[in-house]
Structure 1
Amino acid sequence: MERILIVKRLSEYLFLWALGGTLYYSFEMMFRGFSHWSMFLLGGICLVFFAQQGMWTGWTAPLWKQVGWCVIFVTACEFITGILVNKVMHWNVWDYTDQPFQIMGQICLPFTIIFSGLCAVGILLSGYLLHFLYGEKMPGFHVL
């Protein structure tokens, strides 16, 4: 029985990772005209986190708190990924040096705000998909 639960959870993570990667890569293609495979990996990791933080809290935390946690996670991951792919490997995937309130050209306030909207969508999407596809607890989203 425990093995079945492990396989189920692995299936959930792989599904969410692939979906998150595909959605974020597609989002960048639509709005920037190009993307990079590293953004597929990052988008997948982020969607898995969106679902995981909801499961950790039983989907009972107010949506604004969940978005806050996820924005912090996404921004930290973007910074770490940026240092690796842009500074260490010199792949030049993105550069925010021309944006206001940026740090080392890797993160900036305008994109953090944009990501907050994507986080809200990702939280809702992951919660409902896990419920309807995998029988996980129905999320009880509330704003306050």
Structure 2
Amino acid sequence: MVASVQRVANANARFDAVLTIVLSNDTGSTLQTLTPMDVAALGVDPDSLANEVFVTTAAGIVPLKTMSITMQMLRPNLPWNPMTRWFSEVAVINPQATERLSGLEMRNHLYFATAPGNRMLYVSSTKTALRDILPAGSG
């Protein structure tokens, strides 16, 4: 999945730096993951972040820094047109991340389906559009 990400200082402030990222739709992930390089690209020194949460990972419970962001999910075609409005999210900064995992918040803005065989994930911003893109005979 593709998203635009922007940092926020508070609920009313927006910054100009917008980063386009690719993330994995992980239904088991409850927190949006960013890397320290993502944070730096948004104009923030990752070492300056003070807020931490304890996260249960495959390696055990680890403290990870957090950052408030706004996100907008994009259609996976060029040009990447918006699929959602901008929404608020708290991301964890994982220095060991090999992939960016999706958090829960995007699931409040999109509809997901798989067809028989589970080879393809179908995503849409409305139920009707999701039904229309499913292969014949799957719904």
TM-score by length of 1: 0.34
TM-score by length of 2: 0.35
- Which of the pair is proportionally richer in helix? 1
